[in-house]
Amino acid sequence: MKNRLSLTQIGKNRFHSTFMALSLLLASFAFSSNATASILELKWLDLVPESERIAREMMSQQLEYGDDAYDADMQSEFGAVRHELSGKQVRIPGFVIPLEGDADEVTEFLLVPYYGSCIHTPPPPPNQIIHVSFPEGAPDQELWDVIYLEGKLMTEQNMVGMIQTGYHIIGSNITPYE
């Protein structure tokens, strides 16, 4: 009888140990997937509502450069934002156009999808320009370097000089583009 009790107890201890190990493994997996899932990886096209993508494609088939409807001095009338992205922690690649800061760090800048945006006319539509504030200061980036920006995205229109932006990010991290 004592043998059975010990074997039963040993079996219970093994079950308990295995159960605890699996529980810890599952908990650590859930924690790590939540940590990576909390940052939404975006591409620039993700910032454009589906209805605008369709309208843009239809117009591009009808208009050609040089048409009277094309005005190189005006920022595109397109630029609607996706309000469901507001408040999300995001990561997006882009080029930095510094606005505020010094030679060592930048506290405010524009993030744009391609080199030379906002310098050449016409600038991209507002939903393709992100106004970024980086309260603690981000290392000054070379204008030709692509970076990944992480931070909290908000659908907030701003006028920066003569450029309208459709989104604002409070930056938390910058890493080189890989």
Looking at per-residue pLDDT, the higher value among 35 and 134 belongs to 134
Q: Exposed, middle or buried: residue 40 (CB in 10 Å: 0-12, 13-18, 19+)?
A: middle
pLDDT, one tens digit per residue, over 112-164 is 998 877 666 678 899 999 999 998 888 876 667 899 999 999 999 999 888 89
Angle at 153 between CA 103 and CA 127, to 5 degrees: 90
Is the whole model's pTM more than 0.85, yes or no?
no
Angle at 68 between CA 64 and CA 69, to 5 degrees: 70
CB 47 within 8 A of CB 82: yes
pLDDT, one tens digit per residue, over 37-87 is 599 999 999 999 998 887 767 666 665 554 544 444 444 557 899 999 999
CB 176 within 8 A of CB 95: no
pLDDT, one tens digit per residue, over 155-174 is 999 998 888 999 999 999 99
